[in-house]
Amino acid sequence: MQCVILAGGLGTRMRPLTDARPKTLLPVAGRPFAWHQMRWLAAQGIDDVVYCIAHQGEQIRQYWATEPAPVRSLRYVDEGAELRGTGGALRLALDERVLGESFFVLYGDSYLECDFRAVQAAFRAAAKAGLMTVFGNDGRWDGSNVEFAEGRILAHDKAAPSPRMRHIDYGLGVLHRRAFALVRESAPYDLARLYQRLLALDELAAFEVVARFYEIGSLEGLEETRRHLAALREARRS
């Protein structure tokens, strides 16, 4: 199974911690966050990883040049100085012919304890161009941005959420390459825009996750993730 990790952002919300290193390499529970994320992906059956990198991306290359990665294949798509947004980064990966027929996609600051094989099975059963995982957030860990009912996404909007939105985009998606033939956007554009266009075309399936997400995109999230991963480490030792 293939997973694309979106790790090209500027990490502005995490400055000054990200002044000298990319967010995905911030230390968490004794290791760079990327170390924890990659091992979780491998445990879920991911064996092919594509990093979409840009700002400070060379540090990610250097890290995995010295740290053995627990996956069969590890490749990079570099936006360089021309930031394309998360959706544009995926389009670049498609143009560089590194994407499989379908693939998972998640952010370089997310630790998501869900069953990837179950998500993949739901994607195949739905036969849509894309799938978004959603979580019943109710505004607890971030702003809810998805209206979800009876197994379907009714609306998704990060920029202008409505009170009817009780779920949140969990941060893990699955896309088929044909999504980019259905949705033709000019870079830069966000992955959320791609999801919105697929939803309008009735080409976006959903999978509801019950375990909360962890992320290092905020100081509070970083501390929560540190505590969680440290607890997991202690549990494995005992």
Taking 90 as the threshold, does the pLDDT of residue 228 lie above it?
yes
Residue 185: give its domain's CATH number: 3.90.550.10
Report pLDDT digits (tens) over 113-134: 999 999 999 999 999 999 999 9
Band of pLDDT at residue 146, cut at 50, 70 and 90: very high
| DSSP assignment of 156-175 | E-SSS--TT--BEEEEEEEE
Taking 90 as the threshold, does the pLDDT of residue 139 lie above it?
no
Report pLDDT digits (tens) over 3-19: 999 998 877 788 888 88
pLDDT recorded at residue 238: 64
Report pLDDT digits (tens) over 158-209: 877 788 899 999 999 999 999 999 988 777 888 999 999 999 999 999 999 9
* pTM of the complete model: 0.94
Task: Tabulate helix, strand, coil % of the chain (nearest 5).
Answer: 35, 25, 40
* Domain coverage including residue 20: 2-237
Q: How many domains does the chain have?
A: 1
Q: Which long-range contacts (CB under 8 A, 24 or more apart) does 197-203 make?
A: 198/128, 198/129, 198/130, 199/153, 199/155, 199/156, 201/129, 202/128, 203/128, 203/129, 203/130, 203/179
